[in-house]
Amino acid sequence: MSQWYPKKGKVIFHVDMNSFYASVEVAYDPKLKGKPLAIAGNPEERKGIVVTSSYEARAKGVKTTMQLWEARRLCPELIVLRPNFDRYRTASKEIFQILAGITSYVQPVSIDEGYMDVTGTEKHGSPIEIAQNLQRKISNELDLPCSIGIAPNKFLAKMASDMKKPMGITILRKRDINEKLWPLKIEEMYGVGEKTAEKLRTFNISTIGDLANGDAYQLKQLLGINGERLQNKANGVDMRPVDPDAVHEFKSIGSSQTLAEDTIDEAEIRKLMHQLAENVERRMKRKQAAGQSVQIMIRYHDHKTITRSKKLHHFIENKSDILQFANELFQKHWNLEPIRLLGITVQDVDEKKNIAKQLDLFTYEQEAGKEKLYQAIDNLSQKYGKDIFKQLRNDDREDKPRTSFQKDFLDDFKE
């Protein structure tokens, strides 16, 4: 079996769940199988946003981030469900437990994808046999489809997993990149966003091959060090290891949300700011962390986006502090035009056990004395829902989609 494994180098998998939220709902309710399905934050609202959709819905033109009214116009028979985050967390944990049964070198990167280093796992078969068995096991036990990319490094494995969906297994070797990778459009390359693609096209770089064979000096002038990194990856060079401990690393914790409608209503904005600060506080507590900078992001009706931040003299972790500094930044920098999206992020974050010595001893002990109270409130909230001491409002529901959810899942993986 060792002939299937390189004497030098690695065998890396990228496991990518197909249409994950929708697939979990179909597994939960088999009557949905084969039907066009979309997961959306606010199905009752005309301007709700599609979070993900089944392949049957995609065949009708339904796409992620599409407004719900447009999705229903393209596919009148579309079934729309609110997201069930607890269900997705449970499924994700079970998936990663299956991956960990093959190797301890598993690096989750979001709730529905992760890398595996299967080098030296000959006892489980050849790489293609391992991939087939994994795909079959996840399908049989969880009724969930996935695609797997097999390559000598993380970048090529990621690109390979996207080449055949759903339920694809693709091998991408370095010797194959000029045939399989280079013809792809530059915007299809992992790590190249819309703005970067636009910059590259101004220099007649429209494919990954153009990038791979482009002028290195020109790329560095255009994109800085990222130009060199992208060109290396386009040539199949990526030295990053699969790092199981990467799940513990974080420098910032944030939450953002798109409003149902562009607004200048200060009451609506204030309400969302409270919700975002609460989301950030919850994640901070889960990670037992604190941060020393606050940043806000404002996206206006015309998609113009600004970010503004403030460095603090002390560490913060609680909603009241997060909200106070976020509000200061917002009031200072909002130009009074209609807002489409708001985000709050705490930066320069570290675990409290690492920064305890930097904190004022009296303050730290004072907060530590409240830990049992905080823990009791957290436990009650988890059991009975948030805001248990006041009447729940419909707009406080925990099933609202938030950008932080994909990262929240990583906390579960560590436990």
Annotated binding site: 16, 112
Q: Which of 25, 56, 70, 113 is catalytic?
A: 113
Contact predicate 98/415, CB 8 Å: no
The Cα-based distances of 223 to 89, 156, 196, 226 in angstroms read 37, 21, 8, 6
DSSP state at residue 49? B
Report how far apart, in Å, the C-alpha atoms of 334 and of each of 264, 330, 331, 338 are. Answer: 10, 6, 6, 10
DSSP β-ladder status, 146-151 and 169-171: parallel
User: Which amino acid is residue 349, in one-letter code?
Assistant: V
Enter the DSSP assignment of 207: B
Which residue, chain included where needed, has tokens 């990663």?
96
Is 365 noted as a catalytic residue in this protein? no
Q: Write out the binding residues for Mg(2+).
A: 16, 112
Instruction: Find the DSSP H helices in 203-305.
Output: 208-212, 216-223, 225-234, 266-287
Nearest to 101 by CA among 71, 69, 123, 75: 123
Compute the Cα dihedral for 312, 316, 321, 323 and give only its sign: positive
Residues forming the active site:
113
